[in-house]
A and B are shown apart, each in its own frame.
Chain A
């Protein structure tokens, strides 16, 4: 017996050793993946919260001066913060051909904040109100950028606009991490890192949905209203499909039958809780730090989930559905379909691990909002229509 036991013990030790070595290697790989992707992240300034725009001031943006805007904002900010202009750097995010103007502001090479100039004069006050509601909920994971004042009088080409200065959430968007997925031997460790970002995002959204639930069920009429809006979108896509042929009429009929006869009635019959949602949940609107803690940015769409008293009225599934559907969209060209399914699974498993609402109850709503987000792509001509059709088919299990 003794030699046999000794042999078994040796084998067991060898197996444990190999496993430990394997795990150690996996950790080391993930560690090096983290070091690689967060190497160039600009940290927040140590006194970042001290720098707020609270004074009474004005700023006029003129389109013909667009190339000079960063320099003008630099002078303005330096004046407001009473620091030498050469210590301030301003970078414009995006080309500004459409939508709002966004500027990143640093002091001595460290992040001070983001100045967002809304074309909508009510945009800044709306966002400030939403941030206040979220702040009052004292959430530990769903932490949008802190509000730090703004510019009271601002215009774009003489049209009244509005501006808000917020913290710049340090880290990288998950979208940028997906887009920079390496090929070759580093790919698996990067995928493991992306899995962690999915779990972190799921926990973040779950906390919002759980903590800001109104305590009641989602209003029956509200659910019916949501369904009517989504089915109206289906009509718009059908009309466009006759002209552009995104898919065969038979395929569209299958999608319509599934939504109209199966998923929508199940959603209306479900007792999902009424809560707040982010509303524009996608990997481009989640920033992770080097510990992979996820934080949301761009909370404007939360307005569609809050009543006039700041109480949640919507479905958590708006975020869950959109996040998974837009994961396909945002991964196009960077990840394979199997890799997208893997990340989707990591996100959903983590979300439902925490959620008090069972997956079976939430699923119809999740599918409805997921498909809706892709119908919107077809309706408004966003990206490759074949990608939107493939995503809908995969979500509904219709095959290609």
Chain B
């Protein structure tokens, strides 16, 4: 539900992420560093796809790339 005082929904984010399953650009995310380890969480509110890119794992870059928009 939208209110009159809300800002317009954003057209994606500056990093150009989009959901790999439903292509929504309203992706929500977090990036936290723990010493050298980086954990990036990606969540699509539309289809509820959840993903984690963990720099301790070999698929870290592939996970991030999966969520990047291809225009």
B64 within 8 A of A: yes
| Contact flag A221-B9 (CB < 8 Å), given A229-B28, A373-B32 | yes
Q: How far is the CA of A152 from the CA of B60 in the complex (A)?
A: 21
A-B CB contact pairs (8 Å), 5 listed:
A119-B61, A285-B33, A307-B10, A373-B32, A376-B39
A residues contacting the other copy or chain, number (CB 8 A): 55
Identify which of residues 118-172 in chain A touch chain B, using a CB-to-CB cut-off of 8 Å: 119-122, 126, 129-130, 133, 159
Q: Which residues of A contact B (CB under 8 A)?
A: 94-100, 119-122, 126, 129-130, 133, 159, 214-222, 224-226, 228-229, 232, 271, 274, 279-280, 284-285, 298, 300-301, 303-304, 306-311, 313, 322, 373, 376, 380, 382-383
Contacts of B38 on A, CB cut-off 8 Å? Answer: 98-100
Q: How far is the CA of A376 from the CA of B31 in the complex (A)?
A: 11
Binary interface profile of B, 52-71, with partner A (CB < 8 Å = 1, else 0)? 10111000110011001000
Q: In the complex the two chains form, is A224's CB within 8 Å of B45's CB?
A: yes
Q: In this complex, what residue of A is CB-closest to B32?
A: A280
| Contact flag A308-B28 (CB < 8 Å), given A99-B38, A217-B7, A229-B45 | no
Q: In the complex the two chains form, is A119's CB within 8 Å of B55's CB?
A: yes
Q: In the complex the two chains form, is A308's CB within 8 Å of B10's CB?
A: yes
Known: A307-B11, A307-B14. 7 other contacts (CB 8 A): A219-B7, A222-B9, A284-B33, A303-B15, A303-B29, A311-B10, A382-B37
Contacts of A218 on B, CB cut-off 8 Å? Answer: 6-7
Q: In the complex the two chains form, is B26's CB within 8 Å of A225's CB?
A: yes
Q: In the complex the two chains form, is A220's CB within 8 Å of B2's CB?
A: yes
B residues contacting the other copy or chain, number (CB 8 A): 42
Q: In the complex the two chains form, is A94's CB within 8 Å of B7's CB?
A: no
Q: Which of B2, B7, B54, B64 contacts A274 (CB 8 A)?
A: B7
Q: In the complex the two chains form, is B11's CB within 8 Å of A99's CB?
A: no
Contacts of A382 on B, CB cut-off 8 Å? Answer: 34, 37
Q: Which of B28, B31, B54, B68 contacts A226 (CB 8 A)?
A: B28
Q: How far is the CA of A373 from the CA of B30 in the complex (A)?
A: 10
Binary interface profile of B, 1-24, with partner A (CB < 8 Å = 1, else 0)? 111011111111111100000000
Q: Which of A98, A300, A308, A322 contacts B37 (CB 8 A)?
A: A98
Contacts of A280 on B, CB cut-off 8 Å? Answer: 31-33
B67 to chain A, nearest CB (A): 11
Q: In this complex, what residue of B is CB-closest to A310?
A: B14
A126 to chain B, nearest CB (A): 5
Q: In this complex, what residue of A is CB-closest to B44?
A: A225
Contacts of B8 on A, CB cut-off 8 Å? Answer: 219
Q: In the complex the two chains form, is A220's CB within 8 Å of B6's CB?
A: yes
Give the one of B7, B29, B41 with max A CB within 10 A: B7
Q: In the complex the two chains form, is A376's CB within 8 Å of B32's CB?
A: yes
A241 to chain B, nearest CB (A): 18
Contacts of B64 on A, CB cut-off 8 Å? Answer: 120, 122
Give the one of B1, B12, B38, B50 with max A CB within 10 A: B38
Give the one of A99, A119, A133 with max B CB within 10 A: A99
Q: How far is the CA of A172 from the CA of B42 in the complex (A)?
A: 32
